[in-house]
Each structure stands twice: as C-alpha cells, then as structure tokens.
Amino acid sequence: MTPDAAAQPNAFDSGLTIPDFVACLSMGLQPVGLVQGFYCGQISGWSSYSTYAVTTYPCACYEQTVHNTGWLGRVDALDSAWRSAHQVALERMLKEAADIGAHGVVGVTTEMNHPTNDKSCEVHLYGTAVVVEGAAAPAQPWTTQLAGHKLAKLIEIGFVPSAVAYTRCTAVLVEGCNMEYYGSGRCGTGYVIIPLKEAHELARAGAIDAVRRASGDASLYDVRLQVHESEGSGSTYITCSLLGSLVRRVRGTLPLATPISTVSLGS
C-alpha cells in the first residue's frame, strides 16, 4: 500500500488472503484493520511451581519391589501462567478492535514461544478486525481463528463465532529408574513404557477437559492440538496445548432443497 493510499479515510490493512478477503465481503463482513495483542514476561523457576502427584508407577522394566517407583503429576501453576499470558494478549487485541469500532476479529493467529530461555514467555495474537454491515457494535468483539470459506460454511449451517479458546496441561513423569544406566537389552525393542503413555493421555485429557469447562454452552471447533515432550533432571515433561474457536448455534440447520430432475436418461 502506498503512503497516498494509506492516507485515505477508508484505507485499512488486513492479514487475510485474497480468497478469505472476498469471502468476508460476500458475508457482509467489512475488514477495517489488522489488530494484535502482545505479552512478554519472565516465568519464575520450575522449582517454584506446585506439582501434585496423581498416582505412582513401578519402574518401566523392573519389579516394583526391586527398584524405586516413579510418579505422575501435573504442573498446574506453569499452565496457569501461560493461560494468563494468553488472556492478557487476547484482551489487548480486543481493545484494539473495539477502539476502531470492530464487531469481531477473524483469522486470529496465535504465536507462543520462549524468546530467550525456557523461563521466558512470549504470546502474540493478531487477526483482521471486521464490522458487520447494518449491525450494532457488541459490548465486546467476538474472535475466531476461522476466515474465508470455513467461516462462511459455519454461518451457513447456523453457527456464529464466539471466541478463540486456549488452554494447556503439563504432565510430569518422574521415573523410578533410568533404563540407559542398566545397559542395552534389558528392555526389548518396542517395549511400551506405560507411565509415559499415561503422561501423554493425562496432558491431552487435561487440556480438553479445561476448555470444555470454560466453553459453557458453546461448541469447540477448528481444534488444534500440539504436544511437546522434554526431559530434565530425571523427569519427563509432556505439555499439550489446545487452540480452537468457540461457536454457538443461532438457528437450526436449513433443510436441503428437494432435488428437481432436469434431464431424463430414459429411452
């Protein structure tokens, strides 16, 4: 966009692709600007987070009576810190959207990372603010990851976007033994370590349950799960992060039209 064009009263910026932009216009959504929210902070050391044990497990390859047990727990305080960071970034994006009179934000993209080390936290949300032609501005703009034909089809079947959803659950597995210290061949190839499997299931189930509790009567759509596994100090951390779009039904699905025969293939 040239400086002269940007100086015009109706000039705007957008993060939408051309097909998504055209689809928005066809639904009566007028893009008015690119909005974003950002948060960057420092998370205190791992030792300061409360971790509670869920259950105990024997060593993966040895009898419980011979070797110490491990345990499986959750790191709730760490997950709460990331959820709070996301909420701050989301509120800042919503404020930008409200300041320009937007009804909603489509195509919301979420970027989360550690900018310096594993104790730093950076969250960046951005999307395209839109206004609904002929509608009054809501108390707070709605948000959705969807844009283009996906959003159009969602509205077509009777749903409207409500909000973006984010949650995470971190499971920590403290193993009772370190298999690599006992030489090769003790655990056969393909051996399934049940505690590690349980840790993955705990992280996934925890993230899904959390967002379901927060969604109320809304439905979760366009779900994206990311699972990350890391090790340190004899422990294995499995983090499941969930991003999605909450939608709510405003009308029933329209009935399919009765097909009309236009060509006869009979003799």
Using 50, 70 and 90 to split pLDDT, how confident is the model at 177? low
How far, in Å, are 90, 120, 128, 132, 233 from residue 103 at the CA level? 15, 33, 11, 6, 49
Domain-located, residue 66: yes
Higher pLDDT, 138 or 3: 138
Q: Which helix (H) or strand (E) holds 51?
A: strand 51-57
Domain span at residue 228 reads: 7-177+189-249
Averaged pLDDT, 110-134: 89
Quick one: pLDDT at residue 24?
86
Higher pLDDT, 198 or 254: 198
CATH number of the structural domain spanning residue 207: 3.30.110.70
Residue 234's nearest CA partner among 171, 179, 174 is: 174
Quick one: pLDDT at residue 237?
87
Q: Which residues pair with 162 in a beta bridge?
A: none
Residue 1 has pLDDT above 80, yes or no: no
Cα dihedral 137/159/223/138 (nearest 10): 10
Domain-located, residue 52: yes
Domain-located, residue 265: no
Domain-located, residue 54: yes
Using 50, 70 and 90 to split pLDDT, how confident is the model at 51? low
Quick one: pLDDT at residue 64?
44
Residue 46 has pLDDT above 70, yes or no: no
Q: Give per-residue pLDDT as tens, 14-27.
A: 778 888 888 888 88
Domain-located, residue 1: no
Higher pLDDT, 169 or 138: 169
Give the span between the Cα atoms of 45 and 30, in whole angstroms: 45
Residue bearing tokens 């839109």: 130
Domain-located, residue 99: yes
Quick one: pLDDT at residue 164?
95
Give the span between the Cα atoms of 52 and 73, in whole angstroms: 5
Averaged pLDDT, 16-42: 90
Quick one: pLDDT at residue 23?
87
Domain-located, residue 94: yes
Averaged pLDDT, 73-88: 90
Give the span between the Cα atoms of 155 and 222, in whole angstroms: 14
Domain count, the chain: 1
Q: Give per-residue pLDDT as tens, 254-264.
A: 666 777 777 76
55: alpha, beta or left? (left if phi > 0; alpha if psi -120 to 50): beta
Give the span between the Cα atoms of 149 and 163, in whole angstroms: 18
Contacts of 131 (CB under 8 A, 6+ apart): 29, 30, 32, 101, 102, 103, 137
Tell me how crowded residue 12 is: count the other CB atoms within 10 A of its CB.
Answer: 15
Domain-located, residue 264: no
Residue 211's nearest CA partner among 257, 243, 247, 178 is: 243
